[in-house]
Amino acid sequence: MLKIKQELLDGLAAELETLSPGAGAKAAFESPKVAAHGDFASTAAMQLAKPLNLVPRQLAETLRGALRARVEYEQWVSDIDIAGPGFINIRLKPSAKQQIVREVLQAGAAFGTQPSNGQRLMVEFVSANPTGPLHVGHGRQAALGDAICSLYQTQGWQVHREFYYNDAGVQIGTLATSTQLRAQGKKPGDAEWPEAAYNGEYIQDIANDFLAKKTVKSDDREFTASGDLNDLDGMRQFAVAYLRHEQDLDLQAFAVKFDHYYLESSLYTSGRVAATVQKLIDAGKTYELDGALWLKSTDYGDDKDRVMRKSDGSFTYFVPDVAYHIAKWERGFTKVINIQGTDHHGTIARVRAGLQAAGVGIPPGYPDYVLHTMVRVVRGGEEVKISKRAGSYVTLRDLIEWTSKDAVRFFLLSRKPDTEYTFDVDLAVQKNNDNPVYYVQYAHARICSVLASWGGDLARLHAADLSALDSAPAQALMLLLAKYPAMLTDAARDFAPHDVTFYLRELAASYHSYYDAERILVDDERVKTARLALVAATAQVLHNGLAVLGVGAPQKM
């Protein structure tokens, strides 16, 4: 059906080109808002009428006649209607819709994917400082980042997943001090306990393991504790390695993997920060005021100029960000997406301003940002605000342990990133249609059960006679299968993995309706094989879509 759609689109383009040179490039089909109006719709007549000085509906009638005369429209289209001021509604023959079943079965796991486009994309996400376990906000970011990576991979991009973290600075110093205090036997609530210290029980765990001279290993580092209470730098390094290991465990439980961990400290030790500042000075985009160095960020749309180097000689936090993104560009990533919390909104203008001011060839609007809100967690009808382990927030691993990796991923991806979201733990463990991830996974498992009951060779279904798939429920299901590739393209373009969750829920509902309307394992071999082919194709698309989200497609439930 996808090939048929392209043939019909090419035919429309040819007729528009005949009417007005250049108009063919704008040929497009839309999905009618009301299914009864047809399968494809075109607004070409209304768009073209004014420049041609024609009445839109009359132009639509002319187009209808021309399209009907074309071979591909005669073969695949049952009717073309004109509605309203000039909408062209196209209704396909059942035989056209049936082709999607064959296309899905032949493509398998590759259905919906595009060939390589030769371009590289970096997605930076999670990027949590190693000062504690990952919280549910990090979980939302991990789900978003991983799903956006998968979406772009379906569109032919070579995708690189990167985790950037601050392994120095005030927060790391606070982590070391908190660990030392715990090692000395002090605890939150004591008179000597600083207000800024970290209070979670995990700090005591770090202190205990440091005193026991343990060795910790994470994806990017390994460190053995000295056990010396006065070794504050050793405690710092041990605590960072310990929490990097803990975060590795969090990410493993969430089935998220990174290609590279990038250290903020390396931007200083490699001289990148100093080189970036010098580039900005040499470009004449800075000035000195009150002992500080300022960036003329208002030249690039920022609401005010920004301090780069404070009077004490330290750099503000956006300066290494600029250096980091110059490094991304120099590493060949022409497109970069940063997944961050909405609290980072203020950094966007100044980072982009710094990149433009540096004059290194980076285009405006680089990088792209996807900002997400935090997540409320509700359990037993009440909000859960703290974790015994973390001390002040619910951790990602808490959420996974209470529900499942699949539920957490699907739920956290089920809304637009910038909308508030409440994670209902009780709903996530329910085994009924109210639970969206269960509803979608059950549709897949239900089809697998039907195919297992049949027990035949799935390869036989590729050559099935599909003419029996002419009922309204079957036609609706096939049309929905055909929308999958375009949905992926749109979701990638809009950074919208929630569109995938919406689509999967709609596809599951369409399958459940079809299953309730028509028995699949009937006596008539031709009808049975056609229906089995349809549901096998549906299972494949459900599987493919869930894989984009990083969610499993169980065969039994």
- What is the set of domains in the chain, with CATH numbers? 2-92 (3.30.1360.70), 125-269+373-428 (3.40.50.620), 433-549 (1.10.730.10)
CB 439 within 8 A of CB 523: no
CB 456 within 8 A of CB 535: no
Q: Residue 441: pLDDT above 90? A: yes
pTM: 0.91
- Mean pLDDT within 73-91: 93
Cα–Cα distances (Å) from 14 to 42, 48, 55, 70, 359, in that order, read 14, 14, 21, 10, 44
Length of the chain: 557
Q: Tell me what pLDDT residue 387 has.
A: 63
Residues facing residue 80 across a β-bridge: 90
Is the preceding peptide bond at 367 cis, omega within 30 degrees of 0?
A: yes
- Mean pLDDT within 223-239: 96
Q: Tell me what pLDDT residue 209 has.
A: 97
- Mean pLDDT within 476-488: 96
Positive or negative, the CA dihedral 349, 354, 355, 356 is: positive
Q: Tell me what pLDDT residue 180 has.
A: 97
25 compared with 540, residue with greater pLDDT:
540
- Mean pLDDT within 116-127: 96
Q: Residue 341: pLDDT above 90? A: yes
Sequence-distant (≥ 6) Cβ neighbours of residue 348 within 8 angstroms: 369
**What's the whole-number average pLDDT of the chain?**
94
Give 176-200 pLDDT, tens digit per residue. Answer: 999 999 999 999 999 989 999 998 8
Lowest mean pLDDT among 32-46, 216-230, 250-264, 532-546: 32-46
pLDDT confidence bin for 169, thresholds 50/70/90: confident
Cα–Cα distances (Å) from 133 to 245, 288, 303, in that order, read 10, 40, 35
Q: Residue 240: pLDDT above 90? A: yes
CA distance linking residue 315 with residue 293, whole number of Å: 9
pLDDT confidence bin for 170, thresholds 50/70/90: confident
Give 126-151 pLDDT, tens digit per residue. Answer: 999 899 889 999 999 999 999 999 99
Q: Tell me what pLDDT residue 219 has.
A: 80
Q: What percent of the chain has pLDDT over 70?
A: 99
Q: Tell me what pLDDT residue 18 has.
A: 92
CB 231 within 8 A of CB 244: no
Q: Tell me what pLDDT residue 166 has.
A: 85
Q: Residue 388: pLDDT above 90? A: no
CB atoms within 10 A of CB 362: 20
Q: Residue 421: pLDDT above 70? A: yes
- Mean pLDDT within 48-77: 93
Q: Residue 546: pLDDT above 90? A: yes
CA distance linking residue 33 with residue 450, whole number of Å: 33
pLDDT confidence bin for 317, thresholds 50/70/90: confident
CA neighbor of 133 nearest in space, from 245, 228, 54, 34 = 245
Cα–Cα distances (Å) from 289 to 111, 118, 274, 470, in that order, read 59, 46, 19, 76
Q: Residue 535: pLDDT above 80? A: yes
Residues facing residue 83 across a β-bridge: 87
Q: Tell me what pLDDT residue 391 has.
A: 66
Q: Residue 528: pLDDT above 70? A: yes
Identity of residue 77: V
Buried b or exposed e, range 169-207, using 16+ CB within 10 angstroms: eeebeebbbbbbbbbeebebeeeeeeeebbbbebbeebb
Q: Tell me what pLDDT residue 413 has.
A: 98
CA distance linking residue 54 with residue 66, whole number of Å: 16
